[in-house]
């Protein structure tokens, strides 16, 4: 992969040339993140190759042209934030090869080629997956968008207003009633409770990053409203521990169908979390169209 900086009077962006395993639609629509949207200013024919997102108090555009990825911003932005965010040091092609342990995984990894696990902000991941409980993706995105508009900082980008994800300290100092505009029901109490525990240091996400998945899970479950599934999502998508394997209704159905009741996700280690994303994407999007399952 070659990194080339393009700067002209209209755009300042980085080109990542000859990138493999980088499908914008699969990355941003696979359920791991909620603040990326198709750039509605582009034509409908290639809309899934143009996205706008907000992460780490920045707004960026990402577009794909053939085998090149273009990321808005400077080379310094790319080196300090986006290279790690998009997990670009990891060889996903080799991981897919290692995960092809059976016919089902061969199909799932082939269908999911292009997915990358984002290195997201830890607090944002925790709050987002608390919101995700018993919710669908469009509704999750709506709730988080309102949360950011109400309590985040405004960011101007290309003459439009966007909003950063509010810090735990901000949300720790408001009441549950203040979250009424989100219409998120019982999750409002969970959000405030989590914010207070993070703000006071009762749960330290940076410290948990240096622990094990088992320790992190036990600590995260001290937060009201965090069970195994939410904890594992935070461990995988926020703490970036790749041996976490979140199981929801979709995943439970998939592993019982293909591996039986005694399934152990450890068979996919050290990349069980990446295997989970391939399986999750396949069973939600691709398996129903397969004549072999």
- Answer CATH for 122-237 from 3.10.310.10, 1.10.150.120, 1.10.340.30, 1.10.150.20: 1.10.340.30
- The structural domains of the chain, with segments of one domain joined by +, span 2-89, 122-237
Residues 217-257: tens digit of each pLDDT: 999 999 999 999 999 999 999 999 999 999 998 899 999 99
Average model confidence (pLDDT) across the chain: 91
Task: Average the pLDDT over 12-21 and give the result.
Answer: 88
Looking at the predicted structure, is the pLDDT value of residue 9 above 60?
no
Write out the E strands in the chain: 2-7, 12-17, 36-38, 50-55, 58-65, 68-72, 154-157, 160-163
Looking at the predicted structure, is the pLDDT value of residue 66 above 90?
no
**How much is the pLDDT for 10?**
45
**How much is the pLDDT for 11?**
62
Residues 20-65: tens digit of each pLDDT: 899 999 999 989 999 999 987 776 666 678 999 999 999 999 999 8
Task: Yes or no: say if 193 and 171 are a contact pair by the CB < 8 Å rule.
Answer: no
**pTM summary value:** 0.91
Residue 209 CB burial class (10 angstroms; 0-12, 13-18, ≥19): middle
What percent of the chain has pLDDT above 70? Answer: 92
**DSSP-derived secondary structure letter, 286:** I
- Answer CATH for 2-89 from 3.30.70.2190, 3.40.50.300, 3.30.310.260, 3.30.499.10: 3.30.310.260
Which distant-in-sequence residues (6+ apart) come within 8 Å of 157 by Cβ? 59
Task: Yes or no: say if 84 and 70 are a contact pair by the CB < 8 Å rule.
Answer: no
Residues 158-197: tens digit of each pLDDT: 899 999 999 999 999 999 999 999 999 999 999 999 999 9
Residues 106-129: tens digit of each pLDDT: 999 999 999 999 999 999 999 999
Task: Yes or no: say if 147 and 139 are a contact pair by the CB < 8 Å rule.
Answer: no
């Amino acid at each position: 992969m070659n990194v080339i900086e393009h700067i002209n009077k209209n755009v300042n962006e980085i080109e990542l040339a000859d990138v493999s395993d980088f499908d914008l639609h699969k990355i941003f629509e696979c359920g791991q993140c909620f603040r990326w949207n198709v750039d509605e200013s582009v034509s409908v024919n290639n809309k899934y190759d143009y996205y706008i997102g907000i992460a780490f108090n920045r707004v960026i555009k990402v577009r794909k042209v053939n085998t090149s990825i273009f990321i808005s911003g400077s080379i310094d932005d790319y080196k300090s934030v986006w290279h790690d965010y998009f997990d670009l040091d990891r060889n996903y092609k080799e991981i897919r090869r290692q995960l092809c342990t059976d016919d089902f995984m061969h199909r799932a990894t082939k269908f999911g080629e292009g997915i990358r696990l984002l290195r997201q902000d830890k607090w944002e991941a925790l709050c987002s997956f608390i919101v995700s409980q018993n919710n669908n993706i469009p509704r999750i995105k709506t709730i988080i968008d309102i949360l950011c508009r109400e309590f985040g900082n405004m960011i101007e980008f290309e003459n439009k207003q966007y909003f950063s994800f509010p810090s735990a300290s901000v949300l720790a100092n408001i009441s549950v009633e203040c979250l009424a505009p989100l219409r998120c029901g019982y999750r409002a109490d969970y959000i405030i409770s989590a914010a207070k525990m993070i703000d006071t240091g009762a749960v330290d996400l940076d410290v948990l990053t240096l622990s094990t998945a088992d320790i992190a899970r036990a600590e995260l479950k001290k937060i009201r409203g965090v069970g195994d599934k939410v904890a594992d999502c935070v461990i995988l998508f926020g703490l970036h521990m790749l041996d976490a394997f979140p199981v929801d209704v979709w995943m439970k159905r998939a592993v019982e169908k293909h591996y039986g009741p005694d399934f152990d996700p450890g068979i996919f280690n050290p990349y069980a979390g990446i295997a989970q994303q391939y399986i999750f994407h396949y069973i939600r999007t691709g398996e129903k169209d397969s004549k072999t399952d």
